[in-house]
Amino acid sequence: MVTIDPVAPRGGRPRLPIAEVRWSTVLAPVLLGVIVVVAWETFVDQADIKPFILPAPSAIWDQVTANRESIVSGARVTGGNALWGMLGGALLGVVGAAVAGTFRFVDQMAAPVVAALAVIPIVALAPVLYSMFGAAVNSGRIIVAGISVAIPVYLNTLRGIRQVRAVHRDLMTAYAASPLQRIRAVTLPTATPYVFTGLRIASSLAVIAALIAEYFGGPIGGLGKSITSSAASSNYPLAWAYVTGAIGLGLLFYVVTLLAELWFSRHQPAP
Amino acid sequence: MNQHASQHAIAVAGVRRVFGKGRKQVIALEDVDLVVGAGEFVSLIGPSGCGKSTLLRLVADLDTATAGTLEIFGKPARRARLDQDYGIAFQQAGLLPWRTVAGNVELPLKLHGVASAQRKARVAELLDLVGLSDFAKNHPDQLSGGMQQRVAIARALAESPRLLLMDEPFGALDEITRERMQNELVRICAETGAAVLFVTHSIPEAVFLSDRVVVMSPRPGRITGVVDVRADGLAGAHDRTERARDEEGFFRAVAEVRGLLHGAPVATVAADGLEK
């Protein structure tokens, strides 16, 4: 016997919610951005503001196009540090949360440490790490980015692990599933969207940490170092051009992790 | 274990379940005896807090009795769970949202190491049984509540259990879907010949589906009576037709269950009223 229920489309895989975004939601912020840039340009032009106070958007853009290669290579260095830090930090956060989720006493021991780590500005560690690993390598920057990522990922993953529904736990017990089967079949998939929420939050932190860590020394070539050196040599539009590059890098990290989050939570209600 | 005991799907004797300690102690079940024969459909009915779900959870070994014995096919409940002697469905479908419909039905088979080709064949069979073959590749969030519950029933049947435990599986469905699901369950039970322990709030549902209806009362949870629906002239085991809902025996059984739920005097009045 076949009964037909009125239902959503058959067979097709659901798409990312991005397909449902309306034009107005995209257009409105773009419009605001254009208004701000135009206002900025007119203000600098009319009020005759000196470039060392605030350069005009057009001047910054000239520097961006003129130094494109240098900005891209700088973004590559800073982005590389942020990426490695993010991967390491994510691994640390997820594994840590899995352990804390399994053993209650680990969770209790770690809670105050995590709270303490969450409030200290991690970048403040950069100078210490430079003397620890030597100022000629990027290790200190990667570690700084890694720690800033590990905390939000850890907290969100732990929250995700605790979202396992009672009915799913009962089901696994009824199936006499082994602890490993439980983790693979229910715990990890439940926590996955939360892991990616943590990563999305952490993505901008990783870029910021990698960037700011460069202000405190270490090898040159990154965006952070380029910002400080062009500001030091009074080339303000160029410093702003590097800042523009940093904004682009941060956005790239954010958008990529946001898409990953949407993809992995497409079958579950948003955390 | 004697030969006779192993004939029963479920044998519960002197079961007691107490939650909490000291003053906060709540007696969920007190002195419960129940036998469900192989292939028999038995419903547990009663108001909230009468311990019917607790009893089902004890049978499923999702919870442990404070005192008394539970045997499933002559084995202790724990052994029966480890041996996968029963299939289970809850009020919430409890499907894994990240798996497709086929993936959900396949889950118990996969967990228990059934080969891929066999799994595929069995899943196709089960989805055909519940009328959802066209939805194998959909995810649960694309299905209606009734369809999700059908997937959950297919999943419960995956390993052809001789015993099905169902905890208000149609409780969250609207009346129309509910009746259709009941008809399907009757058909599935006739096809598989499994014994069923069925928890419900609904008197007509219990009477329509069951061979026997066990009526329970709260504080402390205990069995107040058993209505043998077959004795009321309704068709024999798993031989229901849609028409059964309109038969006289159906109303007599409903009145009997209602009487037990509300106290004995009402029972005679209601039953008499129907017969005149």
**pLDDT tens column, A235-252:** 888 888 899 999 999 999
Q: In the predicted model, is pLDDT for residue B270 greater than 50?
A: no
B219/A contact by beta carbon, under 8 A: no
Report the relative pairing of strands B67-72 and B75-76 from DSSP bridges. Answer: antiparallel
Q: Both tokens of residue A198?
A: 């943590």
> Residues A26-37: pLDDT tens digits?
888 899 999 999
Q: How confident is the model at residue A131 (pLDDT cuts 50, 70, 90)?
A: confident
Determine, yes or no, domain membership for A179: yes
Residue B266 in this model has a pLDDT that exceeds 50:
no
Which CATH number covers residue A164?
1.10.3720.10
Say what the pLDDT of residue B233 is: 56
Which residue of B lies nearest to A2 if distances are taken between CA atoms?
B131
Structure confidence at residue A39 as a pLDDT band (50, 70, 90): very high
Question: Which residues in chain B are closer than 8 Å to A14, comparing Cβ atoms?
Answer: 139, 141-142
Beta-carbon separation of B94 and A165 below 8 A: yes
Which residues constitute the domain of residue A243?
56-264
Option in A13, A176, A189 nearest B96 (CB):
A189
Inter-CA distances, A155 with A145, A149, A151, B48, Å? 16, 10, 6, 38
**pLDDT grade, residue B268 (50/70/90)?**
very low
The more confident residue out of B69 and B242 is B69
**Averaged pLDDT for residues A159-170:** 87
Residue A79 inside a domain? The answer is yes
> What is the rounded CA–CA span in Å between residue A195 and residue A155?
9
Q: Is the pLDDT reported for residue A108 higher than 70?
A: yes
What is the token pair recorded at A24? 């107005």
d(CA B201, CA A36): 63
Give chain A's domain count.
1
Percentage above 70 pLDDT, chain B: 86
Q: What is the CATH number of domain B5-85+161-275?
A: 3.40.50.300
Is residue B273 over pLDDT 50? Answer: no
Q: Which pLDDT does position A38 carry in this prediction? A: 93
Q: Which of B108, B147, B184 sits opposite A175 (nearest CB)?
A: B108
pTM over 0.95: no
- Residue A161, pLDDT above cutoff 70: yes
Percent of chain B whose pLDDT exceeds 90 = 0
Per residue in B66-125, pLDDT tens? 888 888 888 887 888 888 888 888 888 888 888 888 888 888 888 888 888 888 888 888
In a domain, A47, yes or no: no
Mean pLDDT along residues A42-62: 85
Model confidence at A89, in pLDDT bands (50, 70, 90)?
very high
The pLDDT value recorded for residue B245 is 65
| CA–CA distances in Å: residue B201 to residues A244, B33, B172, B261 | 64, 20, 11, 11
A206-230: average pLDDT = 85
* Sign of the dihedral defined by the CA atoms of residues B231, B235, B239, B244, in that order: negative
CA distance A21 to chain B (A): 20
Q: What is the pLDDT of residue A252?
A: 92
Token pair recorded at residue B203 = 């008197």
Range B9-29 average pLDDT:
81
Give me the pLDDT at residue B90, please.
Answer: 87
pLDDT at B244: 63
Which residue from A261, A149, A130 is spatially nearest to A202, judged by alpha carbons?
A149
CA distance A163 to chain B (A): 13
Q: What is the mean pLDDT of chain A?
A: 83
pLDDT band at residue B274 using 50, 70 and 90 as cut-offs: very low
- The verdict on a CB contact (< 8 Å) between B138 and A175 is no
Indicate whether A169 pLDDT > 50: yes
Instruction: List the one residue out of A97, A105, A130 whose CA is nearest residue A215.
Output: A130
pLDDT confidence of residue A16: 61
Shortest Cα–Cα distance, A193 to chain B (Å)? 11
Nearest CA of chain A to the CA of B61: how many Å? 8
Backbone phi, psi, residue B184, to 5°? -65, -40
Residue A68: φ, ψ to 5°:
-55, -45
A40 part of a folded domain: no
Overall average pLDDT of the B181-192 stretch: 81
Interface list for chain A against chain B, based on CB atoms closer than 8 Å: 1-3, 5-11, 13-14, 165, 167-168, 170-171, 173-177, 181, 185-186, 189, 192, 267-268
Chain A contact for B141 (CB, 8 A cutoff): yes
Q: Does B84 lie at the interface with A, CB-CB under 8 angstroms? A: yes
> Confidence class of residue B238 from pLDDT cuts 50, 70 and 90?
very low
State whether A171 and B88 contact (CB < 8 Å). yes
Mean pLDDT of the region B145-171:
86
Q: What confidence category does residue A2 fall into, taking pLDDT thresholds of 50, 70 and 90?
A: very low
pLDDT at A86: 92
Q: Do B134 and A10 touch (CB under 8 A)?
A: yes
Q: Which residue of B has its CA nearest to A184?
A: B111
Lowest mean pLDDT among B12-16, B225-229, B234-238: B234-238
| φ, ψ (nearest 5 deg) of residue B43 | -105, 145
Residues B201-227 have a mean pLDDT of 83
Please state the domain extents for chain B. Answer: 5-85+161-275, 89-160
Mean pLDDT throughout B202-216? Answer: 83
- Asked if residue A258 lies in contact with residue A87, where contact means CB atoms within 8 angstroms, the answer is no
